[in-house]
């Protein structure tokens, strides 16, 4: 199991539309990807326009190969990309054992 | 409900000891705080020594006042603080509606 954390900054005037659009894109595109388990979309309290997307995948490759190299990724980015102030920063994590 | 995300960088030689210690500190100190719901400790795949702690709290104040201003916080920091390469960066988040 791998957890993707994407750090996203959205243009200030586009915040509400981004929330509606990423919620819809997650339901209709992301959640149908192979190896997808669940996601959370979080809005930052301290920095308006900052969001974090957390996605749990079966494996690192389910995200980096299965999803990213599929036509669904282009569809996902076409939906949410126009709201970005800069390119998202994406990292992958593994749970620390016994934590 | 508020989600705390703490960005933690640990001295490279201390990684294994940090994992064992923060897992124990979370069970014995953090998880007993008022308003605590659940937590995850995640190790970064791309950057060894980088960790993310995600804690779900009943409210922002449960973390910033209830926990941070309690003796338990001093105990928590005394356990994990010695491993830090720099001070952790902590932010709070709210789930995006309908996401």
pLDDT score for B12: 86
pLDDT score for B28: 97
- Asked if A5 lies within 8 A of B52 by C-beta distance, the reply is yes
Q: Could you say which of B3, B22, B40 has the minimum Cβ distance to residue A42?
A: B3
Q: In angstroms, what separates the C-alpha of A36 from chain B's closest C-alpha? A: 15
Q: In angstroms, what separates the C-alpha of B26 from chain A's closest C-alpha? A: 7
| Residue B53 pLDDT grade (very low, low, confident, very high; cuts 50, 70, 90) | very high
pLDDT score for B86: 95
pLDDT, average across residues A3-18: 96
pLDDT score for A6: 98
Domains of chain A, by residue range, sit at 2-85
Number of A/B CB contacts below 8 angstroms equals: 87
Q: In angstroms, what separates the C-alpha of A40 from chain B's closest C-alpha? A: 7
Mean pLDDT of chain B: 96
pLDDT, average across residues B31-40: 97
Tell me which H or E stretch contains B56: strand B50-57
Q: pLDDT tens, A45-60?
A: 999 999 999 999 999 9
A2-85, CATH topology level: Alpha-Beta Plaits (3.30.70)
Chain B partners within 8 Å of A10 (Cβ): none
| Residue B48 pLDDT grade (very low, low, confident, very high; cuts 50, 70, 90) | very high
pLDDT score for A50: 97
Q: Does residue A99 surpass a pLDDT of 80?
A: no
Show which residues on chain A lie within 8 Å of chain B, measured between beta carbons.
Answer: 2-3, 5, 19, 22-23, 26, 39-47, 50-52, 54, 60, 91-99
Q: Does residue B39 surpass a pLDDT of 90?
A: yes
Contact (CB, 8 A) for A15 and A49: yes
Residues 6+ apart with CB under 8 A from A4: A53, A54, A55, A56, A57, A63, A90, A91, A92, A93
pLDDT score for B81: 97
pLDDT score for B98: 77
Label residue A11 exposed, middle or buried (CB < 10 Å: 0-12, 13-18, 19+): middle
- Asked if A44 lies within 8 A of B93 by C-beta distance, the reply is yes
């Amino acid at each position: 199991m791998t957890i993707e954390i994407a750090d996203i900054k959205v243009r200030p005037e586009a915040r509400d539309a981004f929330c509606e659009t990423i919620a819809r894109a997650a339901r209709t595109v992301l959640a149908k990807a192979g190896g997808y388990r669940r996601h959370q979309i979080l809005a930052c309290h301290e920095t308006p326009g900052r969001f974090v997307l957390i996605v749990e995948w079966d494996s690192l490759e389910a995200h980096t190969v299965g999803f990213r190299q599929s036509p669904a990724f282009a569809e996902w980015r076409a939906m949410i990309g126009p709201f970005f102030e800069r390119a998202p920063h994406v990292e992958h994590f593994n749970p620390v054992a016994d934590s």
